[in-house]
């Protein structure tokens, strides 16, 4: 197996896309320029400080960082749930979809109707919704779950329905905020395989947030490491290990160990005051 | 797209798509289960049995008190006396009419209370200054016994149906509004955010997310609102008795008092009780259970 890892200097903020052959179409899927976020008083300490990040169309980027470094904040900004204190955010290809750590499915709707609601809000005519929802459920291999109530599904199934609902949105960009963090290891592995397949099938651009280094290396074309307080982009790695990868494979492990060292370094800095 | 060359390089130790599907199917099967439900007759028996026993016990205590003459016979008739008084009225066809007059008032009043209380509750729940202004008033009104409204209502509206409806509304609207306020307050912010991501903002968000999410609280408010409607109506009918007004349960009670006819008064009391319990058991309780069960919020043993 071949493995090439390009490390990139801190300043290379609009990278990777070209060499992966994903760019070409011009406009990036997501572009953040000098994004800063301060909660509360304007002169308070920023949670995000001057973030520059570009995601190419079809690219799979993992945002990695310790808990509390501002990953969710960043994703909420991109999703439009919150406004940056400074800087600009550009998202192309329609309103981005966002998956949360908790499935956030609506318990008053059956699984299939949850997917249909996304289709409805996007303006898909009523006659087409059911068939479309069935297709999306089939894509996450839940063909039989249409009539199921949310509470009748296991954690992994709920996240797959949530993924189907996210894919029902027209947006080209899929944002995922630690969507598998609450699942057991085997289920998570399976969902990694599924996500990789679906990403390849649908060509979405994915920004996947996690604090799990192996998960990031398992999934991403590019791993972006964030520092904490203030949240900045500390470093990034482009990963050429072919997909589908195995989370236990030596390639993934080797790179994970390297990134983990960096992450630990980042965290250690905060203890030295 | 970058994704096109992904699968080609898959090595032998990498799981194939079929492996993943199989594994996934296994996980799904292990984690889901079908609950078998007890047969209908057993659920029915379990639900109806205990209250019947309780009623039988109370009748027995009553009968013993009657035999022991705890109170003089005219003040404490036996269950059989009350039953006879009830049957006489039933056969005369009066019971249906009396019941109908009260039920019609109660339903109409309740519907009006829903129509007023629901938007009011939504306003209080969602508009900050409205909440600050009338939120406390709303909870205060809930604890005010609605009988207190009867005298002023009679003076304002006269001895007529308007006065009765005013009392019913003052009793029921605060409960219904309060119900939707607490329903909305309990909606997890995650649902609102998920809705916004899907494009359900503004009124679309209210319709597709906020209202369905707050339904359990709203139903609880409706249930209480019904109880208050009924209670307020009885208070109003009992006090605002006049020949011009339709003859309802409260008026029956009042007439019993005027005639010193204890069985008649007790008949009225039991019918008031029966309607209250009946609507709760036949309507609100199943509706509430249905909603909670759909959402997996009801643990059925
Ligand atoms: N709405 C908010 N108001 C104030 N502080 C917030 C808010 N949301 C997040 N924070 C703070 O911002 C920091 C980053 O949070 P978050 O983005 O959730 O981190 P992560 O997702 O990386 O764990 C945390 O220190 C958190 O306390
Ligand atoms: Mg987070």
| Cα–ligand 1 centroid distance for A73 (angstroms) | 6
Under a CB-based contact definition with an 8 Å cutoff, are residues B199 and B143 in contact? no
Answer whether B32 sits within 8 Å of A152, measured CB to CB. yes
Q: pLDDT averaged over chain B? A: 84
User: pLDDT value at position B7?
Assistant: 40
Q: What is the pTM of this model?
A: 0.79
pLDDT on residue B34: 64
Contact between residue A69 and residue A231 where contact means Cβ atoms under 8 Å apart = yes
Closest ligand relative to A64 C-alpha:
1
For residue B35, what pLDDT is reported? 64
Q: Distance between CA atoms of A209 and A217, rounded to whole angstroms?
A: 12
Q: Which chain A residues are within 8 Å of B198, Cβ to Cβ?
A: 117-118, 121, 165, 169
* Mutant choice from A190, A238, A251 vs B, greatest count of B C-beta within 10 A: A190
- DSSP 8-state class, residue B76: S
For B3-32, what is the mean pLDDT?
Answer: 64
Smallest Cβ–Cβ distance between A22 and the set B2, B295, B296 belongs to B2
**What is the per-residue pLDDT for B111?**
94
Highest averaged pLDDT of the listed ranges A22-31, B6-15, B107-116, B232-241: B107-116
Q: Do A177 and A71 touch, CB atoms closer than 8 A?
A: yes
State residue A5's pLDDT score: 45
Which ligand 1 atom minimizes the distance to the CA of A76?
Answer: 17
Comparison of pLDDT for A118 and B5, the residue scoring more: A118
CB spacing of B27 vs A187 below 8 angstroms: yes
pLDDT tens sequence across A71-114: 999 999 999 999 998 889 999 888 999 999 888 999 999 999 99
Residue of B nearest to A79 (CA): B197
**Token pair listed for A76:** 């909420």
Nearest CA in chain A to B198: A118
Query: Of all protein residues, whose CA lies closest to atom 25 belonging to ligand 1?
Result: A68
Is residue B290 reached through a cis peptide bond, with omega within 30 degrees of 0 on the bond before it?
A: no
User: Which of B10, B17, B198, B218 would you mutate first to test chain A, the one with the most A CBs within 10 A?
Assistant: B198
Q: CB distance B197–A243 less than 8 Å?
A: no
Cβ atoms within 10 Å of A166's Cβ, excluding its own: 26
pLDDT at A15: 39
Q: Is the CB of A39 under 6 A from ligand 1?
A: yes
CA-based nearest distance A128→chain B, Å: 18
Over residues B221-239, mean pLDDT: 89
B88-145 pLDDT, tens digit each: 888 887 888 888 889 999 999 999 999 999 999 999 998 899 998 888 888 888 888 8
- Beta-sheet strands, E only, within chain B: none
Contact assignment for B296 to A200 by CB distance below 8 Å: no
Residue B6 scores a pLDDT above 50: no
Whether residue B24 and residue A194 make contact (CB cut-off 8 A), yes or no, is: yes
**Pocket of ligand 1 contains residue A70 by CB under 6 Å:** yes
Cβ–Cβ below 8 Å for B28 and A165: no
Question: CB–CB of A141 and B24 under 8 A?
Answer: yes
A260-267 CB contacts, 8 Å cutoff, 24+ apart: A260/A213, A262/A225, A262/A234, A262/A235, A263/A64, A263/A65, A263/A66, A263/A213, A263/A225, A266/A65, A266/A66, A266/A225, A266/A227, A266/A228, A266/A234, A267/A66, A267/A228
- The Cα A255–Cα A197 span in angstroms is 22
Tokens of A59: 């690219």
Nearest CA in chain B to A158: B28
**Within 13 Å, how many C-alpha atoms sit on residue B34's CB side?**
3
Which is more confident, A120 or B49?
Answer: A120
Q: What strands, in cross-sheet order, belong to the sheet with A97-99?
A: A5-8, A232-239, A222-227, A60-64, A205-210, A173-177, A97-99
For position A72, what pLDDT does the model report? Answer: 92
Range with lowest mean pLDDT among A160-164, B205-209, B294-298: B294-298
More confident residue, B8 or A57: A57
**Is the predicted pLDDT of residue B244 greater than 80, yes or no?**
no
Integer Cα distance of A179 and A208 in angstroms: 8
Out of A242-246, B77-81, B191-195, give the one with best mean pLDDT.
B191-195
Neighbours of A86 (CB within 10 A): 15
Q: Where are the domains of chain B?
A: 90-294
Q: Are A207 and A240 in contact (CB under 8 A)?
A: no
Residue A258 neighbours by CB under 8 Å, 6+ apart: none
Q: Output the 3-class SS for chain A.
A: CCCCEEEECCCCCCCCCHHHCCCCCCCCCEEEEEEEECCCCCCCCCCEEEEEEEECCCCEEEEECCCCCCHHHHHHHHHCCCCCCEEEEEECCCCCEEECCCCCCCCCCEHHHHHHHHHHHHCCCHHHHHHHHHHHHHHCCCHHHCCCEHHHCCHHHHHHHHHHHHHHCCCCEEEEECCCCCCCHHHHHHHHHHHHHHHHHHCCEEEEEECCHHHHHHHCCEEEEEECCCEEEEEEEEECCCCCCCCCCHHHHHHHHHHHHHHHHHHHHCCCC
- Give, in order, the Cα–Cα distances in Å from A260 to each of A92, A217, A245, B217: 32, 11, 18, 47
Choose, out of B20, B30, B197, the residue to mutate when testing the contact with A (most A CBs < 10 Å): B197
Report, as ranges of residue numbers, the positions in chain A whose pLDDT lies below 70.
1-25, 271-273
The strand pairing partners of A149, in sequence order, are A110
Alpha-carbon distance of A112 to A132, in angstroms, equals 10
Q: Do A244 and B24 touch (CB under 8 A)?
A: no
Query: Which of B193, B194, B6 has its CA nearest to residue A195?
Result: B6
**DSSP H or E stretch at residue B61:** helix B40-67
Instruction: Calculate the CA A207 to chain-centre distance.
Output: 3
Taking a C-beta distance cutoff of 8 angstroms, is the pair B288, B274 a contact? Answer: no
Atom number in ligand 1 closest to CA A75 = 17
Contacts of A107 in chain B (CB under 8 A): 294-297
- Residues across chain B: 301
- Kind and range of the H or E run holding B290: helix B285-294
Instruction: Spell out which residues of chain B touch residue A187, defining contact as CB-CB under 8 Å.
Output: 27
A78 touches A30 (CB < 8 A): yes
The position carrying tokens 């001895």 is B159
Which of A98, A122, A154 is nearest residue B32 as measured by Cβ atoms?
A154
B6 CA to chain A: closest CA distance, Å? Answer: 5
Judge: B295–A107 Cβ closer than 8 Å, yes or no. Answer: yes
Contact residues on chain A for B9, CB-CB shorter than 8 A: 242-243
pLDDT for B13 = 53
Tell me what pLDDT residue B38 has.
73
Task: State the DSSP H helix or E strand holding residue B291, giving kind and residue range, or none if neither.
Answer: helix B285-294
Phi, psi (rounded to 5 degrees) for A51: -85, 130
Query: What topology does CATH give the domain B90-294?
Result: MetI-like fold (1.10.3720)
Give the nearest chain A residue to B4 (CA atoms): A200
| pLDDT value of position A13 | 38
Check residue B72 and give its pLDDT: 84
Q: What does the alpha-carbon distance between residue B211 and residue B223 come to, in Å, rounded to a whole number? A: 17
- The residue behind tokens 């990777």 is A16
What is the DSSP track for B212-246?
HHTHHHHHHHHHHHHHHHHHHHHHHHHHS--TTS-
Closest ligand by atom to A178 CA: 2
Residue B300 — very low, low, confident or very high, per pLDDT cuts 50/70/90? low
DSSP β-bridge partners for residue A62: A208, A223
- The shortest C-alpha distance from A99 to chain B (Å) reads 8
């Amino acid at each position: 197996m071949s493995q090439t890892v390009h490390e990139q200097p801190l300043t290379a903020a609009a990278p990777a896309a070209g060499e992966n052959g994903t760019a070409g179409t011009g406009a990036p899927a997501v572009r953040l320029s000098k994004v800063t976020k301060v909660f509360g008083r304007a002169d308070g300490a920023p949670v995000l400080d001057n973030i520059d990040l570009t995601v190419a169309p079809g690219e799979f980027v993992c945002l990695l960082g310790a808990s509390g470094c501002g990953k969710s904040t960043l994703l909420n900004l991109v999703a439009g749930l919150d406004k940056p204190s400074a800087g600009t955010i550009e998202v192309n290809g329609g309103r981005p979809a966002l998956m949360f750590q908790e499935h956030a499915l609506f318990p008053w709707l059956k699984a299939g109707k949850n997917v249909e609601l996304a289709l409805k809000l996007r303006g898909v005519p009523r006659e087409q919704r059911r068939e479309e929802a069935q297709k999306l459920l089939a894509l996450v291999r839940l063909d039989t779950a249409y009539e199921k109530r949310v509470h009748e599904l296991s954690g992994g199934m709920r996240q797959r329905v949530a993924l189907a609902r996210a894919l029902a949105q027209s947006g080209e960009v899929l944002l995922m905020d630690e969507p598998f963090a609450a699942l057991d290891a085997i289920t998570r592995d399976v969902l990694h395989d599924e996500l990789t397949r679906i990403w390849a099938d649908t060509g979405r651009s994915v920004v996947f947030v996690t604090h799990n280094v192996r998960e990031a290396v398992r999934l991403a074309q590019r791993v972006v490491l964030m520092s904490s307080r203030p949240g900045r982009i500390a470093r990034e790695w482009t990963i050429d290990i072919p997909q589908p990868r195995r989370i236990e494979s030596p390639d993934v492990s080797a790179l994970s160990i390297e990134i983990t060292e960096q992450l630990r370094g980042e965290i250690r800095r905060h203890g030295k005051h | 797209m970058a994704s096109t060359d992904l699968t080609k390089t898959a090595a032998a130790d990498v799981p194939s798509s079929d492996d993943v599907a199989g594994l996934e199917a296994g996980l799904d099967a292990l984690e889901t289960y079908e609950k078998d439900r007890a047969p209908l007759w057993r659920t029915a028996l379990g639900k109806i049995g205990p209250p019947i026993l309780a009623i039988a016990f109370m009748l027995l205590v009553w009968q013993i008190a009657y035999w022991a003459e705890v109170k003089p016979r005219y003040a404490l008739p036996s269950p059989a006396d009350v039953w006879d008084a009830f049957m006489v009225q039933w056969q005369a066809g009066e019971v249906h009419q009396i019941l109908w007059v009260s039920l019609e008032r109660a339903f109409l009043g309740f519907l009006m209370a829903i129509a007023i209380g629901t938007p009011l509750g939504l306003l209080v729940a969602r508009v900050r200054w409205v909440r600050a202004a009338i939120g406390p008033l709303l909870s205060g009104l809930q604890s005010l016994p609605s009988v207190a409204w009867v005298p002023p209502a009679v003076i304002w509206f006269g001895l007529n149906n308007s006065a009765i409806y005013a009392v019913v509304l003052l009793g029921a609207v605060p409960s219904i509004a309060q119900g939707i306020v607490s329903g909305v307050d309990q909606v997890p912010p995650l649902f609102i955010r998920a809705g916004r991501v899907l494009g359900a903002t503004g009124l679309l968000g209210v319709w597709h997310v906020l209202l369905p999410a707050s339904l359990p609280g709203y139903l609880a408010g409706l249930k209480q609102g019904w109880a208050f409607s009924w209670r307020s109506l009885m208070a109003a009918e009992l006090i605002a008795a006049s020949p011009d007004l339709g003859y309802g349960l409260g008026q029956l009670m009042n007439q019993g008092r005027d005639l010193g006819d204890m069985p008649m008064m007790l008949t009225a009391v039991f019918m008031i009780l029966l309607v209250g319990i009946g609507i709760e058991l036949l309507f609100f309780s199943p509706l509430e259970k249905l909603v909670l069960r759909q959402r997996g919020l009801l643990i059925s043993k």
